[in-house]
Every structure is written in C-alpha cells, then in structure tokens.
Amino acid sequence: MQEKDIYSELSSIRNLMERSSKFISLSGLSGIMAGIYSLIGAFIGYKIVYNAHGVLQYRDSYISESQILWQLTSIAAGVLVLSLVTGIWLTIRQARKKGENFWNPVSKRLLVNMTIPLVTGGLFILILLIRGEYGIISSACLIFYGLALIAGSHYTLSAVKWLGFSEIILGLVAALIPGYGIVFWTIGFGILHILYGSIMHFKYN
C-alpha cells in the first residue's frame, strides 16, 4: 500500500471516530443570528434605560423601577427564544445536509452537559432578581453561559470551548464594573457570537 493511501485511510478512520464521539453539525449561522438578535435586544434595552439621558453612563439603580425590569426581562426572554428556535432549525438543516441524525447519543450528551450549568445559572439569576441584586445579573449570565459552552465543548467543535472562555472572562470583568451590564451583554452575546459564528461557518460549513 502506498504512503498516500495509508494517510487517506488514517484520515478516514479519524473522521469516523470524530463523527461518532462529537456532534459536528452545529451551524455557524445560528451563532451569527443569535448575535444579531442580541444586538437588537441590547439596542431596545438601551433605548428603554437611557432614552431620557441620551448617553451611556454608569447606572445601577434604574432597575428598581418594576416596569423597566419586566421590559428588560421580556426582551432577554425574547432573544433567548429566537436564538434557540433559530439555532435548532439551522442545526437540524445542517445535520440533514451531512446525512446525520440530529438527535443521537452524542447530541444528547451535549445537551445534558450544557443544561446543568445553564439551569444552575438560571436559578442563581432568579435568586439575584428576588434579592434585588441587579448589578451583577449580566455578569452571571455571561459566566454561567461560558461554563455551559465549555462543558458542552467536549462533545462538539473546539471553537465552542474558546467562546466559553471568552464569555467567562468578560463576565468576570463585568462583575468588577456592574453599572455597565448592557455594554457587556452587547459584547458577550452580540459581538462574540457573530465573531465565533462567522469563524465556525467559514471553517466548518
């Protein structure tokens, strides 16, 4: 057997092993769309919070108004739902293009590993809301989301892990200056998603 045939066989075996141990049908476009939704949500939130002031400045007490709180919560929930629906649809489409089954043992493990830190983070954020600790909510969102990405990265593309580390670092910085939560939300869920989504799309799709 020629050397190039050996390398070809080894490459085929490696690809088969990767496909059986990792879910590689994630759509980079889903990350881009999630980033766009987040930017739109951040812009709407900015107009709600800072409309009367006209410029971005340190704020940590505006959230005491219950009406603004519920408006911002509704925006965040809307961004989350749109991102999930779009992500699932694009990923299913990507899996079908590759002739793969979207719901398989690997994708189940991916979901379980991401769900644990996401649910824990969601409950923690709920506690913060109940106690009125609004200043670090955006930080908690970024940190627990980053932990979820790292936990799930063992079962999918490696780029997800680096996105997770980026989100955690950004969340820790946000905790140091909590009055600018909307800025870190925009960077973490908007710009970083678009950046990493673009990388994944052009590299893997």
Is pLDDT above 70 for 196?
Answer: yes
Question: What pLDDT, in 10s, does the model give residues 139-167?
Answer: 999 999 999 999 888 877 777 888 999 99
Maximum Cα–Cα distance across the chain? 75
* Greater model confidence, 152 or 119: 119
What number of helices (H) and strands (E) belong to the chain? 8, 0
pLDDT score of 61: 47
Among 124, 159, 152, which residue's Cα sits nearest to residue 139?
124
pLDDT score of 2: 52
Q: What is the mean pLDDT of residues 47-56?
A: 63
Instruction: Look at phi and psi of residue 101 and say left if phi exceeds 0, alpha if psi is from -120 to 50, else beta.
Output: beta
pLDDT score of 63: 44
pLDDT above 90: percentage of residues in the chain = 27
Query: Which amino acid, one-letter code, is at 97?
Result: K
pLDDT score of 120: 95
DSSP code, position 132 = T
Is pLDDT above 90 for 45?
Answer: no
